[in-house]
């Protein structure tokens, strides 16, 4: 009886030990190539005709474990791009608020503008030739990096700026 009890305790301990923490890089690395990822850039003009939105197809479709980060090119200062993680709200001195936002499914993403004022009155600097970077990464990896800093994300993913595809929609 004592041996059976010891055996059951041993089996119970083994069952509880089966839960382990695996580093995210182990989950997604293939031959030290880093996480499976895709980074691309689009430039689009928003206006009344496109309902201040753009549809971005994912080809191939996203996997259920993928995360998508969207960045808006806010400014260029001394030759350095200033990227802001979306959704992003910009506040104007007159109380106006402009949102750069997105929705996505496994097949596409919609980037769109909303505001607490009529978008038709918005200055073209906010609507013409707006550039976005779309970063598709495995979900677990998204939890391990400072997503607010696009340079940190690209560095962690080992993606060079020259590797970013420019997509024409």
Please give the mean pLDDT across all residues of the chain: 81
Q: Under a CB-based contact definition with an 8 Å cutoff, are residues 109 and 132 in contact? A: no
Alpha-carbon radius of gyration of the chain: 22
What is the number of structural domains in the chain? Answer: 1
Residue identified by tokens 């753009």 is 54
Residue 54: band (very low, low, confident or very high) from pLDDT cuts 50, 70, 90: very high
Q: What is the pLDDT of residues 116-164, one digit of tens each?
A: 999 999 999 999 999 999 999 877 776 778 889 999 999 888 888 888 8
Average pLDDT over residues 40-55: 96
For the chain, report the end-to-end CA distance as a whole number of angstroms.
73
**Residue 148 CA neighbour count, 13 Å, CB half:** 1
For 63-105, write each residue's pLDDT tens digit. Answer: 888 889 999 999 999 999 999 999 999 999 999 999 999 999 9
Are 113 and 52 in contact by the 8 Å Cβ rule? The answer is: yes
Strands 80-85 and 88-91, sheet pairing: unpaired
- Given this model, what pLDDT does residue 91 score? 96
Q: DSSP letter for 162, please.
A: G
Query: Chain centroid to CA 15: how far?
Result: 36
Report if pTM > 0.85. no
Is residue 88 helix, strand or coil? strand
* Residue-range definition of the domain harbouring residue 143: 2-167
Q: What pLDDT score was predicted for residue 3?
A: 52
């Amino acid at each position: 009886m004592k041996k059976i009890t010891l055996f059951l305790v041993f089996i119970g301990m083994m069952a509880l030990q089966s839960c382990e923490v695996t580093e995210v890089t182990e989950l997604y690395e293939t031959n030290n190539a880093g996480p499976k990822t895709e980074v691309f850039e689009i430039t689009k003009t928003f206006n009344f005709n496109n309902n201040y939105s753009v549809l971005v197809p994912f080809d191939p479709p996203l996997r259920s474990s993928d995360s998508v980060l969207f960045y808006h090119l806010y400014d260029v200062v001394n030759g350095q791009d200033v990227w802001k993680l979306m959704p992003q709200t910009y506040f104007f001195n007159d109380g106006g608020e402009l949102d750069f936002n997105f929705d996505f499914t496994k097949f596409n993403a919609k980037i769109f503008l909303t505001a607490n004022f009529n978008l038709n009155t918005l200055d073209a600097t906010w609507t013409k030739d707006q550039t976005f970077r779309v970063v598709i990464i495995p979900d677990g990896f998204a939890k391990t990096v400072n997503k607010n800093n696009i340079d940190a994300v690209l560095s962690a993913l080992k993606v060079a700026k020259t590797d970013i595809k420019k997509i024409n929609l």
